[in-house]
């Protein structure tokens, strides 16, 4: 394996020039290297980190939710919602499954089309590194990129290992989330340097934080999970689990909603998805007049949550004592709980960065810059952000395939 790990610029010097340099040895960078190497391109892959593909390693709780069978452009946020269609159509979840199956890797569907690797994340990283090596790629870790210029038709890349010239350059440096494992804004800086605009970035797939009385209540419920519908200000709705935490709210429904949330906006939580609380309570008042509201709520929710709802509404009564107004109050509290998060946990825990290199300035077929021939942007650095559930890796594979087969 041509993997060279050293902080010393002396070890593993480059060839003076090559066909393709890729910066960022994550999911997208490795996959683009495989695709280009298979076409006979001399590929040099550079990363400042000491380990490749750290986000694959920590993904999906260590099992890597590597794709989603329901992949469709509607599952992605982007200023141009059509941009991802072409790449996603030309490299599908089944194409990736075929690649990993060739290495004996197997998978299972957890829920909602989410596919996880039975052999866990390191097996995915190994298969990508093996295919990269087989395609003739060279991977240089612990390599700082100091400067990129393009004085003529070649890029010149000054690094801690010396300078390398290349015909084509792919930027696959990801987004800003989880800086402690090597995330940087480098890709955006390079994009700007070559004239690109950046769609404003913000943390996505990230827990909400709260302050004051709400924080106190949510912290008291920490660890409680319940299925909900969450609706964002732009009317996007997610039906999944929500988890109370000591800082606020998390769980799949909340992470999904966070990608659509802007500071200051409220979210609406329906704690009784699919139920008409008003009718159910009116029926219960007739059928079980002696039942207490606490019992009724405990039949629907974990006990701590039931207590919290009861305290908040002040409806600690028997069913027979409920007025129509009381029923309205409870129905509205359960079906439309409007709250305003204080903030999110930010890039420290966000799974993705929403926004990025403006897709108007990239070819949707090849990911090549329309402003600078030979320059490509792939993966999370681009303004295409998937929902939770394997969509972000599918974008990494598909955009890498688009660039790697065309550069
Ligand atoms: C905790 C967590 C769990 C996740 N789980 C899933 C999941 O199960 N399914 C899913 O689809 N998505 C998941 N994601 C999202 C997914 O990991 C990313 O969308 C995906 O890794 C993006 O791939 P990428 O190759 O574009 O960027 P990255 O994987 O982030 O790779 C970028 C690479 O560039 C390198 N780099 C950065 N800056 C520089 C620089 N200045 N110089 C040189 N190199 C640099 C980094 O070291 C890194 O190796 C998860 C994310 C997190 C944080």
Residues 119-136 have pLDDT tens digits of 999 999 999 999 999 999
- Answer positive or negative: Cα dihedral of 74, 78, 80, 82: negative
- 17-23 and 43-46 strand pairing: parallel
What CATH number does residue 244 fall under?
2.40.30.10
The structure tokens 């509290």 sit at: 333
User: Which band of pLDDT confidence, cut at 50, 70 and 90, is reported for residue 14?
Assistant: confident
How many structural domains comprise the chain?
Answer: 3
Are 46 and 138 in contact, with CB atoms under 8 Å apart?
A: no
pLDDT at 327 over 80: yes
| The last residue of a domain, from among 316, 344, 372 | 344
Nearest ligand 1 atom, CA 184: 38
Q: Has residue 349 been placed in a domain?
A: no
Check whether residue 116 and residue 242 sit in a common domain: no
Ligand 1 centre from 26 Cα, in Å?
A: 6
**Contacts of 367 by beta carbon, 8 Å cutoff, 6+ apart:** 87, 170, 376, 377, 378, 382, 399, 402, 403, 406
Residue of 56, 59, 404 with the most ligand 1 atoms within 8 Å of its CB, for mutation: 59
What CATH number does residue 296 fall under?
1.10.8.260
Please compute the mean of the pLDDT values over residues 313-334 and round it to a whole number. Answer: 95
Over the chain, what is the mean pLDDT?
Answer: 95
Residues 49-67 have pLDDT tens digits of 999 999 999 998 999 999 9
Check whether residue 159 and residue 196 sit in a common domain: yes
Nearest ligand 1 atom, CA 53: 49
Are 268 and 231 in contact, with CB atoms under 8 Å apart?
A: yes
Backbone phi and psi for residue 285, each to the nearest 5 degrees, phi listed first: -60, -35
Residue ranges making up the domain that contains 141: 3-203+356-404
pLDDT at 5: 44
Ligand 1 centre from 109 Cα, in Å?
A: 22
What CATH number does residue 89 fall under?
3.50.50.60
**Contacts of 373 by beta carbon, 8 Å cutoff, 6+ apart:** none
Check whether residue 53 and residue 180 sit in a common domain: yes
Q: Has residue 249 been placed in a domain?
A: yes
Check whether residue 104 and residue 120 sit in a common domain: yes
Residues 282-305 have pLDDT tens digits of 999 999 999 999 999 999 999 999
Of 148, 153, 1, 45, the closest CA to residue 400 belongs to 45
Nearest ligand 1 atom, CA 27: 25
């Amino acid at each position: 394996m041509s993997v060279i790990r050293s902080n010393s610029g002396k070890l593993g010097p480059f060839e003076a020039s090559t066909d393709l340099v890729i910066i960022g040895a994550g999911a997208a960078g490795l996959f683009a290297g495989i695709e280009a190497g298979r076409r006979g391109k001399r590929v040099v892959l550079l990363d400042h980190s000491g380990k490749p593909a750290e986000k694959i390693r920590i993904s999906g709780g260590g099992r890597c939710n590597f794709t989603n069978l329901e992949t469709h452009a509607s599952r992605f946020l982007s200023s141009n919602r059509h941009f991802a269609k072409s790449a996603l159509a030309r490299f599908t979840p089944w194409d990736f499954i075929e690649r990993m199956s060739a290495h004996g890797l197997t998978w299972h569907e957890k829920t909602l089309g989410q596919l996880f690797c039975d052999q866990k994340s390191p097996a995915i990283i190994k298969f990508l590194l093996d295919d990269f090596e087989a395609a003739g790629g060279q991977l240089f870790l612990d390599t700082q990129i100091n400067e990129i210029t393009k004085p003529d038709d070649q890029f010149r890349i000054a690094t801690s290992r010396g300078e390398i010239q290349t015909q084509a350059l792919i930027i696959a440096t990801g987004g800003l989330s989880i800086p402690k494992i090597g995330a940087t804004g480098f890709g955006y800086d390079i994009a700007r340097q070559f004239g690109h605009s950046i769609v404003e970035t913000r943390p996505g797939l990230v827990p909400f934080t709260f302050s004051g009385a709400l924080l106190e209540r949510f912290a008291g419920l920490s660890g409680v999970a319940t299925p909900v519908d969450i609706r964002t200000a732009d009317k996007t709705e997610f039906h999944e689990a929500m988890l109370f935490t000591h800082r606020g709210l998390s769980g799949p429904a909340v992470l999904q909603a966070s990608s659509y949330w802007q500071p200051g906006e409220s979210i609406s939580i329906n704690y009784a998805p699919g139920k008409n609380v008003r009718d159910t309570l009116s029926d219960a008042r007739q059928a079980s007049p002696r039942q207490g509201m606490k019992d009724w709520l405990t039949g629907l929710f974990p006990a701590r949550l039931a207590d919290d709802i009861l305290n908040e509404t002040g409806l600690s009564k028997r069913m027979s004592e409920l007025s129509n107004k009381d029923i309205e109050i409870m129905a509205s509290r359960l079906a439309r709980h409007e709250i305003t998060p204080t903030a999110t946990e930010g890039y420290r825990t966000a799974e993705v960065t929403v926004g990025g290199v403006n897709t108007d300035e990239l070819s949707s077929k090849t990911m090549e810059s329309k402003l600078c021939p030979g320059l490509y942007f792939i993966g999370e650095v681009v303004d295409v952000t998937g929902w939770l559930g394997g969509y972000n890796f599918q974008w990494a594979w598909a955009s890498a395939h688009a660039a790697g087969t065309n550069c």
